[in-house]
Amino acid sequence: MGCGKYDNNLINLYIDGELDGPGAEEFCKHLESCGVCRGELKELESALSGIKKAVLPPAPENIRRRVMEKLARVRKTARTLYLLVPAAAAAAVLLASYISLNRTKPGHVTDYVNTQINYLYGESLVDVYADDDKDNTVIGLILGGEDI
């Protein structure tokens, strides 16, 4: 942590070459006489050269392959979407038009549902209450009183 006269920040500035003028001269003179600062400077320089020295293995080729394959895939999906989006939009417009046209006939859907319900009553449920032997449970109603 420095010798007391100078702290390590000066050593940092010295390493970065940011110490200039009379301050630099004074610090250089101090380094000649101060074993603590000289020792710390040497340790730091050796440590920094230690992390610079490593020879790294080259980047594996599979990174390029992985990246380029993914890009090609994304591009293909984007193209598909590019084609699908107008089609989906057209379908949505058609559906919206159909719904809005049908809304102009308020009784249309209700009439249709009522017809279907009446049909069911007529075919399947009409005799349920007349015959005590028949199954009156929900399952029975659904099965329409058929023997099982």
Partner 1 sequence: MPVPDRTVLDAQRGDLEAMGQIYSAYIDLVWNISLKMTLNRTHAEEAASEVFLRIFRKISKFKFRSSFKTWVYRLTVNTVINYIEKEKRRKTWYIDEERLEREYGVPAAQEDPAEKDMCGKLLAGLRQRERMLLILREIEGMSYCDIAEAAGMSIGAVKTGIYRARESLRRAYKSMEA
Q: What share of the chain is helix, strand, coil (3-state, %, to 5)?
A: 75, 0, 25
Least distance from C-beta 23 to partner 1, angstroms?
17
Task: Supply the minimum distance, in Å, between the C-beta of residue 107 and partner 1.
Answer: 54
The CA-atom distances, in angstroms, between 2 and each of 9, 17, 35, 36 are: 9, 18, 10, 7
CB of residue 1 vs partner 1: minimum separation in angstroms?
A: 8
Q: How far apart are CA 148 and CA 144, in angstroms?
A: 11
Site mask for partner 1 (CB under 8 A), range 87-126, x = bound:
----------------------------------------
d(CA 141, CA 148): 13
Residue 68 lies near partner 1 (rule: CB under 8 A): yes
8 A C-beta contact, residue 41 and residue 11: yes
Tell me how far, at minimum, the Cβ of 77 lies from partner 1, in Å: 13
The contact set with partner 1 (CB under 8 A) reads 8-9, 12, 15, 40, 43-44, 46-48, 50-60, 62-64, 66-68, 70-72, 75
